[in-house]
Amino acid sequence: MKILVINGPNINMLGIREPGIYGKNTFADLLALLEETAQAEGLEVEQYQSNHEGDLVDRIQAAYGKVDAMVINPAAYTHTSIAILDALKAVAIPTVEVHISNVDAREPFRHISYPGMACVHTIKGQGLDGYRQAILWLKEHYGK
């Protein structure tokens, strides 16, 4: 099973950005966690990060017919991007939305998720472990 993990803007700043909200683990730690999870579960996991909305749309489109499932943390684009929502709908690849922080307990503008409307499941507030949980969830529901 091949899973693509997509991260939006500022996720590459993990460990530096607002550690009180996102924790002290770095982006490199996240990449290591993804690799460990892939090995432990016998999955192929690829990661893509961009700070640019159009690049995220391009990467989702390029995944069409190439991956079995996706995990996405659209970061700030969660709360604004109909383009990412439409891209997810277009490719119709089962996708789990992940947020490191519990967005529901934060500012009201973080309570809406456009891409989430096209996702099969959402994991919030579990820190970096949320990515591992999302991969396990996809393996359980769509694994082959």
- Report the catalytic residues: 22, 99
CB atoms within 10 A of CB 66: 11
92-121 residues near ligand DQA, rule: CB under 6 A: 99-101, 103, 110
Report, in Å, the least distance between residue 76 CB and ligand DQA. 4
Using alpha carbons, select from 1, 3, 11 the residue that is nearest to residue 78: 11
41-60 residues near ligand DQA, rule: CB under 6 A: none
How buried is 74 (Cβ within 10 angstroms: 0-12 exposed, 13-18 middle, 19+ buried)?
buried
Give the list of residues 6+ apart from residue 10 with CB closer than 8 angstroms, or none: 17, 51, 75, 76
132 binds ligand DQA (CB under 6 A): no
* C-alpha count within 13 angstroms, C-beta hemisphere, residue 119: 23
76 binds ligand DQA (CB under 6 A): yes
Q: Which is nearer to ligand DQA, 5 or 68 (CB)?
A: 5
Phi, psi values for residue 121, rounded to 5°: -165, 155
Q: Of the listed pieces 26-34, 45-53, 55-63, 68-76, which binds ligand DQA according to CB under 6 A?
A: 68-76
Report, in Å, the least distance between residue 121 CB and ligand DQA. 15
* H helix runs in the chain, sequence order: 19-22, 27-41, 53-62, 82-91, 129-142
Q: Which is nearer to ligand DQA, 49 or 73 (CB)?
A: 73
Q: How many residues bind ligand DQA (CB under 6 A)?
A: 10
Q: Which is nearer to ligand DQA, 69 or 134 (CB)?
A: 134
Residues making contact with ligand DQA (CB under 6 A): 10, 73, 75-76, 78, 99-101, 103, 110
